[in-house]
Amino acid sequence: MKHTISVLVENKFGVLARVAGLFSARGYNIASLAVSETLDPTISYMTIVVDAKDESILEQIEKQLNKLIDVITVTDFTKKEHAERELILLKINCLSKDKAKLEKSLKKYVAKLVCHRADTAIVELVGQQEQIKEALEELGKFGIKELIRTGKIAMAV
Amino acid sequence: MKMTGAQILIECLKREGVELIFGYPGGQAIFLFDKLYDSDIKFILPRHEQAAAHAADGYARATGKPGVCIATSGPGATNLVTGIATAYIDSIPMIAITGQVRTTLIGNDAFQEADITGITRSITKHNFMVKDVNDLARTVREAFYIATTGRPGPVLIDFPTDVQMKEAEFIWPEEVNIRSYKPTYFGHPGQIKKAAKLIAQAKKPILYIGGGVITSGAYYEVKELAEKIQAPVTWTLMGIGAFPAEHKLSLGMLGMHGTAYANHSIMESDLIISIGARFDDRVTGRIDSFAPNAKVIHIDIDPSSISKNVKVDIPIVGDARNILELLIKDLKKLPDTNEWLKEVNALMKKYPMTYKEKDMIAPQYVIEAIDQVTKGNAIITTEVGQHQMWAAQWYKYNNPRSFISSGGLGTMGFGFPASMGAKLGKPEKTVIVVAGDGSIQMNIQELATCVCNKINVKVVILNNGYLGMVRQWQELFYKKRYSHTCITSPDFVKLAESYGAVGMRVTKKEDLKPALEKAIAIDNVVFVEVIVEPEENVYPMVPAGEAINKIISGGLA
């Protein structure tokens, strides 16, 4: 089962390596990771998505995260009401004559055309995982050349 | 007042109460060592950085105060790694200080550069690299605070050369406040009340105690609790000395080489009161068949230890001593354990600890002889292997901090250097190293350190010509294929003499006690080599992965 975990940490060098090390030491792959400064510049916020094959190992990782000196709080959103978003940039096959068609498709989602050059369009897309999945299926019809995801960010309600 | 980084560090160490440093100089620590030359903190130069770390660890285990070791960058720092890992897994407070190449060179593959904060990230409680001399005093203060509070552990401070040399105003931070680090000391009163209720209802309670009891200094409370509820007490390797071995409620150590009656008792129990122990695999054996009828109260300062291996009914996070004080007060009703104690006593009669004497000296007898000669009052440090288990089984430890051994990591080469720290920390004590002929050779160079600093420890080498514990497994589980476990040794007597120590060799049982008595009386470092039965095994034994009542007794019981 996929877990979304937020970790509030001291904004210092080495902290990311400490956090990541707890996952890697147990052979756990981090599915996505987003890190940035908060309103308080001495604190960073990490959102980590991890696919836990064994819930007890994940529980141990969460306890170990709490033990790290530079970690302030750990929240597992799995059973907690939260808002989540991810931003995606896509490079899509799109001849000039198809631009209108693409823009029409984009209207169904929180998405917009960032730029268009010759036969290629760059599109930004924001949403929850379900919406993103749906959008990617539709845009796949144009042919996706490249895709970059920021990783999920989540906030408690 | 303006001071250099090196001076600030030394001033901080003094203010933290450091009286002893083990260290080894090198290129990136020269400036620091130049300032240490003017300092009045006692400094011991071992012959290998690994020994500096183990000695600092041994000092911490014997005294309860944090041990301090210093090494240069690169190889000096990496040589500390085994010692740091040993301290980490056994929760020993230690400060390791390493020189580092100047900040402008870090990451450039400079001479003797190693990313030691990266290397030690998973074997320290925390580590720091000081990049600005203005942060130094606060960093050292935090390092000591982190190392000695909560579940203790080693903290490393990486100290680049240019930061050692730079000047700053010395400001001693009176208080430490780390917003993200607030260890829990007081157990939840509601949980403690629940535990008291569960104890009152128990018919077959057992106390299972570990190193946390020693760290927290909860021995009196453990004894009071055991006597009040009349429950038998068993302990882990790290818990040795936390409860008097000769107490009538004592069951000795449990687990892989624990007493059969301790293992049977915990399997039969209906309530395990775990205090400062962590249900290690060497204790529980096969986890799904461990103590099937028992409820578990788990008292531990580290929340990540709870429900890690076994399901816990009542977790209580906090300091053992504080929690037990409250728990004892909350015990309004006491369980009736008369029948249970009878059952336990029957198990003790049925499965006594014993060994058979053959032609050569029995290694178990050597430990008994040490116990008798020292009247159970010595500090015993051990290496790792068969001799370690015999030292755990056959010496009667009635005092905390009297058994010093690498429990979690199982580090060969630990015991001899650790004994230096123990002896310097507790000079009034007789300190005896119990070693094997394999282990002693892993840090034997410390003979020089002991002799030149008059650290008069006594080293008893049980020489069986094998890496005995692995040989035992090969005998029992690998068809006696003794793959690379037969080991030769130097002439330990001549070797000791060549370092200026005293060497003795004992081959006859009747010579053993007089030799030990003489060794203890001699005002020098003494190696006592005892030629023991070569293929003696440690029993009882629970094969790895078996339930802990599936005991191999070696035909003894």
Which pLDDT tens digit goes with each residue over B486-544?
999 999 999 999 999 999 999 999 999 999 999 999 999 999 999 999 999 999 999 99
Give the domains, in start order, of chain A with CATH numbers: 2-79 (3.30.70.260), 83-156 (3.30.70.1150)
B179 contacts in chain A (CB < 8 Å): 72
* H runs (alpha helix) in B217-333: 219-229, 260-268, 281-284, 320-330
In terms of CA atoms, which chain A residue is nearest residue B155? Answer: A69
Q: How confident is the model at residue A28 (pLDDT cuts 50, 70, 90)?
A: confident
Give CA–CA dist B258/B242, Å, rounded.
Answer: 16
**Which of A14, A25, A63 lies nearest to residue B303, judging by beta carbons?**
A63
Give CA–CA dist B300/B310, Å, rounded.
Answer: 14
Say if the Cβ atoms of A64 and B304 lie within 8 Å. yes
Q: Decide: pTM greater than 0.90.
A: yes
Question: In this predicted structure, what is the pLDDT of residue B557?
Answer: 56
Give the three-class secondary structure for B46: coil
- Window 81-140 of A, Cβ < 8 Å to B: none
Say if the Cβ atoms of B121 and A21 lie within 8 Å. yes
Which secondary-structure segment (H or E) carries B521?
helix B509-521
Give CA–CA dist B57/A53, Å, rounded.
Answer: 38
Check if B122 contacts A (Cβ < 8 Å).
yes
A28: its two tokens: 């756990």
**Which of B122, B178, B307 lies nearest to residue A69, judging by beta carbons?**
B178
Question: In this predicted structure, what is the pLDDT of residue B309?
Answer: 87
Per-residue b or e along B370-393, where b marks 16 or more CB atoms closer than 10 Å to that residue's CB: bbebbebebbbbbbbbbbbbbbbb
Indicate the CATH number for domain B363-531: 3.40.50.970
Over the stretch A55-65, which tens digit does the pLDDT of each residue have? Answer: 888 888 889 99
Whose structure tokens read 């009882």? B540
DSSP letter string, B524-548: S-EEEEEEB-TT---SSB--TTSBT
Report CA-CA distances (Å) from B112 to A41, B22, B77, B117, B463.
35, 20, 9, 14, 38
Closest CA to B553 of B368, B353, B360, B283: B353
Whose structure tokens read 């970059």? A148
Q: Which amino acid is at A120?
A: T
- The whole-number average pLDDT for the span A22-31 is 89
* H runs (alpha helix) in B429-531: 446-452, 468-477, 492-498, 509-521
Over the stretch B444-491, which tens digit does the pLDDT of each residue have? Answer: 999 999 999 999 999 999 999 999 999 999 999 999 999 999 999 999
Residue B300 pLDDT exceeds 60: yes
Over the stretch B285-296, which tens digit does the pLDDT of each residue have? Answer: 999 999 999 999
Say if the Cβ atoms of A70 and B118 lie within 8 Å. no
**Which of A25, A64, A72 lies nearest to residue B180, judging by beta carbons?**
A72
Which secondary-structure segment (H or E) carries B495?
helix B492-498
Check if B129 contacts A (Cβ < 8 Å).
yes
∠ CA B457-B59-B254, nearest 5°, is: 90
CB B405 within 8 A of CB B282: no
Is-same-fold flag (B2-169; B363-531)?
yes
Say if the Cβ atoms of B181 and A17 lie within 8 Å. no
CB B86 within 8 A of CB B114: no
Question: In this predicted structure, what is the pLDDT of residue B275?
Answer: 98
Q: What's the gap between Cα B286 and its chain centre?
A: 24
Min CA distance, B279 vs chain A (Å)? 15
* H runs (alpha helix) in B249-385: 260-268, 281-284, 320-330, 338-350, 363-374
Residues with Cβ < 8 Å from A13, sequence gap 6 or more?
none
Domain borders along chain B are 2-169, 189-350, 363-531
Residue A117 pLDDT exceeds 80: yes
Percent of chain B clearing pLDDT 90 (strictly above): 97
Percent of chain B clearing pLDDT 70 (strictly above): 100
DSSP letter (8 states) at residue B466: B
Q: Which of B180, B184, B288, B310 would you mutate first to test chain A, the one with the most A CBs within 10 A?
A: B180
Question: In this predicted structure, what is the pLDDT of residue A56?
Answer: 83
DSSP letter (8 states) at residue B66: P
Over the stretch B186-239, which tens digit does the pLDDT of each residue have? Answer: 999 999 999 999 999 999 999 999 999 999 999 999 999 999 999 999 999 999
- The whole-number average pLDDT for the span A103-108 is 94
Q: Is B263 exposed, middle or buried (0-12, 13-18, 19+ CB in 10 A)?
A: buried
A14 contacts in chain B (CB < 8 Å): 117, 121, 129
A156: its two tokens: 């408690």
**Which of B117, B118, B180 lies nearest to residue A69, judging by beta carbons?**
B180
Over the stretch A35-74, which tens digit does the pLDDT of each residue have? Answer: 999 999 999 999 999 988 888 888 888 899 999 999 999 9
Residue B135 pLDDT exceeds 60: yes
B95 - beta bridge partners?
A: B68, B155
Cβ–Cβ contacts within 10 Å for residue B181, how many? Answer: 20
Domain B189-350: homologous superfamily in CATH: TPP-binding domain (3.40.50.1220)
Give the three-class secondary structure for B222: helix
Question: In this predicted structure, what is the pLDDT of residue B168?
Answer: 98
Say if the Cβ atoms of B126 and A69 lie within 8 Å. yes
Q: How confident is the model at residue B308 (pLDDT cuts 50, 70, 90)?
A: confident
CB B58 within 8 A of CB B84: no
Kindly report the CATH class assigned to B2-169: alpha beta
In terms of CA atoms, which chain B residue is nearest residue A55? Answer: B308
- The whole-number average pLDDT for the span A123-152 is 95
∠ CA B324-B325-B327, nearest 5°, is: 60
Give CA–CA dist B47/A104, Å, rounded.
Answer: 76
Q: How many residues does chain B have?
A: 557
Min CA distance, B345 vs chain A (Å)? 38
Say if the Cβ atoms of A17 and B121 lie within 8 Å. yes
Cα torsion for B393, B398, B401, B403, to the nearest 10°? -20
- Window 141-160 of B, Cβ < 8 Å to A: 146
A112 - beta bridge partners?
A: A124
